[in-house]
Amino acid sequence: MTEAGVQAVAIARDWIGTPYLHQASVRGAGTDCLGLLRGIWREIYGGEPEPVPPYTADWSEPAREELLWEAARRHLLPIAAPAGSAPVAPGEVLLFRMRAGAVAKHLGIAAEVGAAPSFLHAYSGHGVVESPLSTPWQRRIVARFHFPEGAR
């Protein structure tokens, strides 16, 4: 696990209980999955890497554009192993496709590994939670990333 990954897990756990609020990114007040990642980024590196334009909950599904995946590639370090081929490590950013044929539109941070793996994410209707990284969730992972080193 990288130093930035260690920080990411600790910071994400500080967000547990933050209500779900689409397009928000304020610990304790409201966030969505991208907002959680943005908040972690701010705490590790300072400001955000780029302005985030308004986005809809469908993440451009009608246009079939992988906007979230493209943004992750711009700022995070892709893990070359195909999804499911190597164990997930704590601190990895996980990108999920919520259903077959849809665009990838959910993010989480791997927290625990081993017999009871878990991940942290902001989930509609639940807020920021640590959930089991169960087989159904693992099957939805389409990409994994590391935070870059170089925290402030």
Instruction: List the chain domain ranges.
Output: 3-146
Could you say which DSSP state residue 15 is in? T
pTM: 0.92
Name the CATH topology of 3-146: endopeptidase fold (from Nostoc punctiforme) (3.90.1720)
Span 8-52, pLDDT tens digits: 999 999 999 999 999 999 999 999 999 999 999 999 999 999 998
pLDDT at 110 exceeding the cut of 80: yes
Position of tokens 């990954």?
A: 5
Q: Say how far apart CA 147 and CA 78 lie, in whole Å.
A: 9
| Contact between 42 and 111 (Cβ < 8 Å) | no
